[in-house]
Amino acid sequence: MSGSVRFSGVQVGDSIPELVLPPIERLQLALFAGASGDHNPIHVDEDKARGGGLPGVIAHGMLNMAVLGRLLTNWVPQRALRGFGARFSAMAFPGDVVTCRGQITNKTEAAGEKLVELALTAENQKGDKLLVGTATVALPE
C-alpha cells in the first residue's frame, strides 16, 4: 500500500499499478463461500452448477469485486476510498487468472477534499471483462 500518492502527482489518463492474481482455485471458492456466507452450490458443486445450466462451477462475483477493491487498497489506504462500485459482466471459472486495472478519469475538489475518479476493470486471461466499475478516492495535496 502506498502512502505517497498525491493529488498533484497524478493526471487524468494515468494508470494505477495493476493487480494480477494466481489462477482461481476451487479451495479459494470454498473458503470464500464460508467467509462470505454465500453457499450457493454453483460455486462449489460441479453437478449442481451444470444442473443449473452453467458450464461448470463459477467464482463468486463478490470474490472478483473483493479483488478489484484490493487493487484500490494496494494503491491508497482504505480510509481514502469515497466511492466504489462495479457491474458484473462475465463469469469467472476455476483456473482463470484475474487482472485488475484502474485508470484516472477525473480530478475534482469537493467538500474540501481533492478527489480522483477512476475507471476500473477486472479481466480474465482471455481479455473478457468480468467487472467494470468506478471508484472515487481522496488524495492529499
Q: What is the pLDDT of residue 1?
A: 43
Which CATH number fits the domain that encloses residue 52?
Answer: 3.10.129.10
In a domain? residue 2? no
How many CA within 13 A on the CB side of residue 53? 0
In a domain? residue 1? no
In a domain? residue 121? yes
DSSP letter for 76, please.
S
Q: What is the pLDDT of residue 4?
A: 86
Q: What is the pLDDT of residue 3?
A: 60
pLDDT means per 10 residues in the chain (141 residues)? 82 98 97 95 96 96 96 97 98 98 98 97 98 98 92
Specify the 3-state DSSP secondary structure of 129. strand
On whether the CB atoms of residues 50 and 34 are closer than 8 A, the answer is no
Q: What is the pLDDT of residue 59?
A: 97
Enclosing domain of residue 52: 7-139
Domain count for the chain = 1
Q: What's this model's pTM, rounded to 2 decimal places?
A: 0.92
In a domain? residue 96? yes
In a domain? residue 131? yes
